[in-house]
Amino acid sequence: MMSSSCSGLSRVLVAVATALVSVSSSCPQAWGPPGVQYGQRGKSMTLCCPGVTAGTPVSWFRDGETRLLQGPDSGLGHELVLALADSTDEGTYMCRTLDGALGGMVTLQLGYPPARPVVSCRAADYENFSCTWNPSQVSGLPTRYLTSYRKKTVPGADGQRMSPSTGPWPCPQDPPAAARCVVHGAEFWSQYRINVTEVNPLGASTRLLDVSLQSILRPDPPQGLRVESVPGYPRRLRASWTYPASWPRQPHFLLKFRLQYRPVQHPAWSMVEPAGLEEVITDAVAGLPHAVRVSARDFLDAGTWSAWSPEAWGTPSTGPLPKEIPAGGQPHMQPEENPQPDSPAPPRPSLLPDPRPLDHRDPLEQMAVLASLGIFSFLGLAAGALALGLWLRLKPVGKDGPQKPGFLAPMIPVDKLPGAPNL
């Protein structure tokens, strides 16, 4: 079914390749500038004199040489046959008629037939995608690429059979002659078949690639990353960024983000996943500059994460923590006094690697952990004491000992109860 759906496009490509490739003809003219002929290395090659009619006897010479390569009595007319042509046969040839007049000049260039190109596709948003390609083998000859695509649809919910595809349409190469084509207005839930055909004077080779937009989605990195200190907090940094310009802002297609940061002395990154377009880092190392970077992905995990944004740098604040002083019922912020000008300056942070592990623990966090441990310890001791008291109270007495009233035994003898028979 798939081969039949591509038969029409294959016929079109074969027709175009046949028009472009005319190696089998006596004087190929479809490729390159006039007077240039192409051949395959290691194969026999036939040159033809461009300035005479077919069958006219001519003599062949190499340009700049007087040695006769083939005389007019060879019986080949205006053609020159080179058996197993190699790199030494490349160059310019001259053909002369019987009267010595110059019939024309031919330049021979050798190479290889095209091989199937390597194709990959990527979508930077949910509406457009692009495909790029590279030759899997260098042919050494002028090469063109024919690009097209078609949309594939699945009938019904079971999807047991592929319906006939829609298209094909040309995939515009942007810019022209670049190894890249762009499909605009694609459907996010549809599948597409990409056709990239490599054509040179010796033939054509096609690569077909099936892609779905949601699997090749990879947004561009976030933009406008800024890292700022938080005044009065020596272990905090505030990072903010924006959506990539290539991503359309729609309420049903959002991005999620991940953020990495590290101090300058340590190669290891710490990572968090912010809920929005900013994040406050609470465990920065005081006094050290930090590198921060972010990446993005579709919020429903379609495709893959984007590349990391360029790194932005920031250093936590070294100023004092502001104090709130009520004055006239209106609190205002009054920072502590700054150090005197003659006081020694704080030492500059070293940029050398520090082998010691980072201590990201916040003092407030440590106090909270200790308080929680104390509460759980008290509750555990209380539960243990209660269990021990119940066990001692309910512990049975041996056979030889006196029978003591149990924990649930009545405190008043049975015979003293009102209404009990007097035995």
Cis amide prior to 326 (ω within 30 degrees): no
Flag whether pLDDT at 223 surpasses 50. Answer: yes
Q: Which residues make Cβ contacts (< 8 Å) with residue 145, sequence separation at least 6?
A: 117, 133, 173, 179, 196, 197, 198, 199
pLDDT category, 31, cuts 50, 70, 90? confident
Q: What percent of the chain has pLDDT over 90?
A: 39
Spatial contact of 110 and 87, defined as CB atoms under 8 Å apart? yes
> Quick one: pLDDT at residue 28?
56
From 138-142, 188-192, 417-421, the region with the lowest mean pLDDT: 417-421
Percentage of the chain beyond pLDDT 70 is 71
Q: What pLDDT, on a 0 to 100 scale, did the predictor assign at position 157?
A: 42
Q: Per-residue confidence at 73, pLDDT binned at 50, 70, 90?
A: confident
- The band of 314, judged by pLDDT with boundaries at 50, 70 and 90, is very high
> Which pLDDT does position 373 carry in this prediction?
82
Indicate the residue type of 234.
P
**CA 200, 202, 204: angle at the middle one, nearest 5?**
60
Residue whose C-alpha is closest to residue 281's, from 234, 323, 342: 234
Residues 262-275 have a mean pLDDT of: 93
Whole-number Å distance between alpha carbons of 417 and 146: 110
Residue linked to tokens 């197993």: 84
Mean pLDDT to the nearest integer, 222-244: 95
**pLDDT over threshold 50, residue 11:** no
Residue with tokens 């006239």: 328
User: How many C-beta atoms lie closer than 10 Å to residue 314's C-beta?
Assistant: 19
Cβ-based burial of 211 (10 A; exposed 0-12, middle 13-18, buried ≥19): buried
| pLDDT value at residue 365 | 58
The pairing of strands 102-111 and 36-40 is: parallel
- Tokens coding 231: 């005044």
Lowest mean pLDDT among 10-19, 241-250, 304-313: 10-19
Please tell me the predicted confidence (pLDDT) of residue 322: 61
Q: Is the pLDDT of residue 137 over 60?
A: yes
- Contact between 136 and 116 (Cβ < 8 Å): yes
| 260 compared with 54, residue with greater pLDDT | 260
**Exposed/middle/buried for 217, CB within 10 Å: 0-12, 13-18, 19+?**
buried
pLDDT of residue 324: 52
Under a CB-based contact definition with an 8 Å cutoff, are residues 394 and 405 in contact? no
Return the higher-pLDDT residue of 118 and 153.
Answer: 118
Smallest CA-to-CA distance from 129 within 303, 267, 373 is with 303
pLDDT the model gives residue 393: 75
Amino acid identity at 361? R
Q: Is the pLDDT of residue 138 over 60?
A: yes
Confidence (pLDDT) at 394: 77
Res. 359: pLDDT tops 60: no
For residue 308, which of 237, 258, 256 has the smallest C-alpha distance?
258
Q: Specify whether the CB–CB gap between 85 and 42 falls below 8 A.
A: yes
State the Cα–Cα distance between residues 302 and 322, nearest whole angstrom: 45
Four-CA torsion 388, 393, 398, 403, nearest 10 degrees: 170
First and final CA of the chain: distance in angstroms?
A: 104
- Assess contact for 58 and 52: CB atoms under 8 A: yes
pLDDT of residue 375: 86
| Average predicted confidence (pLDDT) for the chain | 78
Is the pLDDT higher at 405 or at 191? 191
256: pLDDT strictly greater than 60: yes
